[in-house]
Chain A
Amino acid sequence: MGVIEAHELRRTYRTSTGTFRRKSLDVEAVRGVTFAVESGELFGLLGPNGAGKTTTIKMLITLLIPTSGTARVLGHDVVKDAREVRRRIGYVFGGDRGLYDRLSGLDNLRYFAELYAVPPREMRRRIGELLDLVGLAGRENERVEGYSRGMRQRLHIARGLLHDPPVVFLDEPTIGVDPVGARELRATIAQLVEAGKTVLLTTHYMFEADQLCNRIAVISQGEIVAEGTPADLKANVSEGGVVEIEVFGIDEPAVQRLRAIEGVRSVGVEPREQAQVLVVQTDGRELTHALLVPLDGAQVGRVSVREPTLEDAYVALVRES
Chain B
Amino acid sequence: MKQLMRSALFVFTSLIEPLIMATIAFYTAKAGGKPEALFYMAIGAGVMGIWSSTLFGSGGVISWQRWEGTLELLVASPPPLLVIVVPLTIATATIGIYSLSATLLWGWLLFDIPFHLAHPLLFVIALPAGVISMGLLGLLIAATFVLYREANALSNMLEFPIALVTGLLFTTALLPDWTHPIGWVLAPTWAVNAIRESALGGSPGMAIVLCLVLGAAYVVLASWFLRVLEVKAREKATLSLA
* Chain B residue, CB-CB nearest to A95: B69
* Chain A residue, CB-CB nearest to B70: A98
Q: Among A63, A87, A100, which residue has its beta carbon within 8 angstroms of that of B78?
A: A87
Tell me whether B79 and A63 are in contact (CB under 8 A). Answer: no
Tell me whether A116 and B77 are in contact (CB under 8 A). Answer: yes
A-B contact pairs, 15 of them (CB 8 A): A63-B239, A64-B234, A65-B235, A86-B76, A93-B72, A97-B68, A98-B72, A99-B69, A100-B3, A100-B68, A102-B2, A103-B2, A103-B6, A115-B79, A117-B79
Return chain B residues, CB-CB under 8 Å to A65: 231, 234-235
Return chain A residues, CB-CB under 8 Å to B78: 83, 86-87, 115-117
Question: Using an 8 Å CB-CB cutoff, how does the interface string of A56-77 with B read, 1 for contact, 0 for none?
Answer: 0000011111000000000000
Top-9 shortest CB links A-B: A97-B69, A102-B6, A98-B69, A115-B77, A65-B234, A86-B78, A87-B78, A65-B235, A100-B3
Q: Could you say which of A62, A65, A95, A112 has the most chain B C-beta atoms within 10 Å of its C-beta?
A: A65
Tell me whether A115 and B69 are in contact (CB under 8 A). Answer: no
* Chain B residue, CB-CB nearest to A29: B237
Question: Using an 8 Å CB-CB cutoff, how does the interface string of A83-115 with B read, 1 for contact, 0 for none?
Answer: 100110001010101111111000100001001
- B83, chain A: closest CB distance, angstroms: 9
Tell me whether B77 and A100 are in contact (CB under 8 A). Answer: no
* Chain B residue, CB-CB nearest to A97: B69
B75 within 8 A of A: yes
Q: Which residues of A, 242-301, contact B by the 8 Å Cβ criterion?
A: none
Number of B residues near A (Cβ < 8 Å) is 22
Q: Which residues of B, 1-40, contact A by the 8 Å Cβ criterion?
A: 2-3, 6-7
A13 within 8 A of B: yes
Tell me whether A102 and B3 are in contact (CB under 8 A). Answer: yes
Return chain A residues, CB-CB under 8 Å to B84: 115
**Given contacts A62-B234, A63-B239, A98-B68, are A107 and B2 in contact (CB under 8 A)?**
yes
Tell me whether A91 and B68 are in contact (CB under 8 A). Answer: no
Return chain B residues, CB-CB under 8 Å to A61: 76
Return chain B residues, CB-CB under 8 Å to A63: 72, 75-76, 234, 239
Distance A62 CA – B84 CA, assembled complex (angstroms): 17
Question: Using an 8 Å CB-CB cutoff, how does the interface string of B227-242 with A read, 1 for contact, 0 for none?
Answer: 0000100111101000
- B236, chain A: closest CB distance, angstroms: 8
- A290, chain B: closest CB distance, angstroms: 46
B122 within 8 A of A: no
Question: Using an 8 Å CB-CB cutoff, how does the interface string of B57-83 with A read, 1 for contact, 0 for none?
Answer: 000000000001110111111110000
* Chain A residue, CB-CB nearest to B64: A100
Q: Among A87, A91, A97, A102, which residue has its beta carbon within 8 angstroms of that of B7?
A: A102
Distance A99 CA – B74 CA, assembled complex (angstroms): 11
- A222, chain B: closest CB distance, angstroms: 15
Return chain B residues, CB-CB under 8 Å to A99: 68-70
Return chain A residues, CB-CB under 8 Å to B79: 115, 117
Q: Could you say which of B68, B75, B78, B231 has the most chain A C-beta atoms within 10 Å of its C-beta?
A: B78
* Chain A residue, CB-CB nearest to B234: A65
**Given contacts A65-B231, A93-B69, are A13 and B77 in contact (CB under 8 A)?**
no
* Known A65-B235, A99-B69; further 14 A-B contacts with Cβ < 8 A: A13-B237, A63-B72, A63-B75, A63-B234, A63-B239, A64-B237, A98-B68, A98-B72, A102-B3, A102-B6, A115-B79, A116-B77, A117-B78, A117-B79
Q: Could you say which of A91, A100, A117, A159 has the most chain B C-beta atoms within 10 Å of its C-beta?
A: A100
Q: Which residues of A, 104-147, contact B by the 8 Å Cβ criterion?
A: 107, 112, 115-117
Distance A95 CA – B231 CA, assembled complex (angstroms): 26
Tell me whether A62 and B77 are in contact (CB under 8 A). Answer: no
**Given contacts A99-B68, A99-B70, A107-B2, are A91 and B234 in contact (CB under 8 A)?**
no
- A116, chain B: closest CB distance, angstroms: 6
Distance A13 CA – B236 CA, assembled complex (angstroms): 7
Q: Which residues of B, 77-132, contact A by the 8 Å Cβ criterion?
A: 77-79, 84
Distance A263 CA – B15 CA, assembled complex (angstroms): 75
Q: Could you say which of B6, B234, B239 has the most chain A C-beta atoms within 10 Å of its C-beta?
A: B234
* Chain B residue, CB-CB nearest to A107: B2
- B18, chain A: closest CB distance, angstroms: 23
Return chain B residues, CB-CB under 8 Å to A116: 77-78
- B13, chain A: closest CB distance, angstroms: 16
Return chain A residues, CB-CB under 8 Å to B6: 102-103
Distance A296 CA – B235 CA, assembled complex (angstroms): 54
